[in-house]
Each structure stands twice: as C-alpha cells, then as structure tokens.
Amino acid sequence: MSKPIYILNGPNLNRLGTREPEIYGRTTLVEVEALCRGAAAGHPLVFRQSNREYELIEWVHEAIDEACGVIINPAAFTFTSMAIMDALKMFPGPIIELHISNIHRREQIYHKSYVSPVATAVIAGLGTDGYPTAVRSMLDMISRTTKAG
C-alpha cells in the first residue's frame, strides 16, 4: 500500500466558499477535498484543516513517518510561523507550498513566506484549481523518485 499524500490547510480555510470570494472563490473546502481525491486517482490522501498552529505542526510530525509527500496551504501562518518551517525541514519527501491567491501580487505582508525556503515547489494564484494541480505534480514527483529508486 502506497504511503498517503498529506494535504494540510491552515487558518480560516474552513470558511472557503464564503470567505472573501473575490480573492478565494466560491468553492468550499469539502469540494476542494473532492477535487483532490479525483486528481489522486486512487492514491491515498490525508486531507485536514486546522486554525491551530500546534495542530499543523503535529500533523507534519505525523507525516514524517506516514506520508510520501506533503501539500500545505499554511494560510496566514505562511508569514508568521518559523515553527511550521522547522517542522517541515524534518520532512524527508517532496513538499508543495500552495496558495489559492497569488500572494506576490497582494499587499507587502503577504510577500515573505517562511515555508518557501524549505518547499520543493510553490503554487500560487491558480485559485482552488491549484489543489488538484498540486496533487498531480506530487504524484509525478513521487513516481520519479520511486523510479530513481
């Protein structure tokens, strides 16, 4: 059985669909999870959301032992959390940092990510379509590493 891909979502993303739809769109987090499972084509996924920083850190620790890859939308913790950055540093597999909006086109406070320096790749600005895109990219990265042995 393949190890699952962990998809972790940070604060306020539980309000996706009604939260600032002009920035984040009208797709709900439940619908985003379904998009991810569709793109995973049967590869196991663990899909979670929390407004608590410590919980996201606990899930990254869990992923160190359980996951083949991590896709993380740290939301506002992107710009504040060295703790999440330090946790991700310990993850041995590929990490995709994901943002629904193009953070680099937004206000200055959204420009410096603590996660990007430890991520394999960053996806930003594709809207919620960024999630299934990240899943497909993660599957490609995993199959490449598996082939490389």
Our CB check for ligand DHK shows the closer of 34 and 122 to be 122
Which burial class, exposed, middle or buried, applies to 42 when counting CB atoms under 10 A from its CB (0-12, 13-18, 19+)?
A: exposed
Q: Report yes or no: 64 and 16 within 8 Å, Cβ to Cβ.
A: no
Q: Is 24 a catalytic residue?
A: yes
**Shortest distance, position 99 Cβ to ligand DHK, whole Å:** 4
Binding site for ligand DHK (CB under 6 A): 12, 73, 75-76, 99-101, 103, 110
Our CB check for ligand DHK shows the closer of 76 and 118 to be 76
**Shortest distance, position 94 Cβ to ligand DHK, whole Å:** 19
3-class secondary-structure state, position 24: helix
Q: Is 104 a catalytic residue?
A: no
Task: With CA atoms as reference, report the closest residue to 61 among 88, 93, 82.
Answer: 88
Our CB check for ligand DHK shows the closer of 39 and 100 to be 100
* Catalytic residue (one of 6, 24, 114, 131): 24
In the beta sheet, which residues pair with residue 73?
9
